[in-house]
Amino acid sequence: MPAAVYCLFPVAPACRKIGLDRTLNGWHLAQVAPFDYRTALIQFIRTHAQPADKFGHQPRLYQLAVRLAEGKPFDDDVLFAAVWLHDLGVFIGHRPEAPARLAVWDHIAYACEVAPGLLRQCGFPESKIPAVLELFRTHLPSTRPTSFEGTLLRDADILEQLGAVGALRTIAKVGRDTRFVSFADALGVLRRNLEKLPGCLELPAARLLAEPRLKILQDFISAAEIEAGGAEL
Ligand SMILES: [Fe+2]
């Protein structure tokens, strides 16, 4: 029997009033045709990853994380779900807009709260949900993963902050994130990434993949500084 297919629709105000769905922050899944949880999650993130350039982080991250495993066994359900949902709390429409609230926003706590309901509606295995949440909690460079899947996600997420892609993702925040007013703010973050993140990588495969990314980042920062000639960026 084929798995169910799900689409995501905004909950109408009337439905909100009667509490049709309170777990998905005003969104619910409607079953429309045969499908699987992976397609449902991708479809959900395609709609919710805002600004739209944030979508690409998820497929790149999954590809990187699988590559880092180098053929060693891992739970692909857990890794896939964690990759696709770990940044839910940073998307516009999910994170708060007010600068004061945004400054103290815990996007991991938000993902831990919202993801279980979403995963259940997608038909994701219930027994694996706690492992997905654990990956949310341990994916930042400042934390330490407790599983191989967690290390794959964390190292891949660090790699996404380095190299040309890391530069693009950071520069894209200028003017649309209160912490990034000018290019100098973006360069400051890239300098910190260059200095601090390589030492956080755990897997030898990740350290190898980081090498060209670090060179590109260093060259880019140096070129920006030279071209600016001491003037404001
Ligand atoms: Fe991420």
Q: How far is the CA of 90 from the centre of ligand 1 (A)?
A: 9
Better-predicted residue by pLDDT, 103 or 108? 108
Q: How far is the CA of 157 from the centre of ligand 1 (A)?
A: 5
pLDDT at 6 over 80: no
Better-predicted residue by pLDDT, 31 or 151? 151
pLDDT at 33 over 80: no
pLDDT at 2 over 60: no
Query: Tell me: the pLDDT tens digits for 171-226?
Result: 999 998 888 999 999 999 999 999 999 999 999 999 999 999 999 999 999 999 99
Q: How far is the CA of 1 from the centre of ligand 1 (A)?
A: 34
By the 10 Å C-beta count (0-12 exposed, 13-18 middle, 19+ buried), 102 is classed as: middle
Q: What is the pTM of this model?
A: 0.85
Residues of the chain above pLDDT 70, percent: 85
Q: Which tokens in the block code for residue 148?
A: 């191989």
* Residue from 174, 161, 177 nearest 216 by CA: 161
Q: How far is the CA of 79 from the centre of ligand 1 (A)?
A: 13
pLDDT at 34 over 80: no
pLDDT at 69 over 50: yes
Note the helical H segments in 123-182: 129-137, 148-159, 163-171
Mean of the pLDDT values across residues 62-85? 98
Q: How far is the CA of 57 from the centre of ligand 1 (A)?
A: 7
Question: Please, what is the average pLDDT of the chain?
Answer: 88
Q: How far is the CA of 86 from the centre of ligand 1 (A)?
A: 6
Q: What pLDDT is attached to residue 27?
A: 54
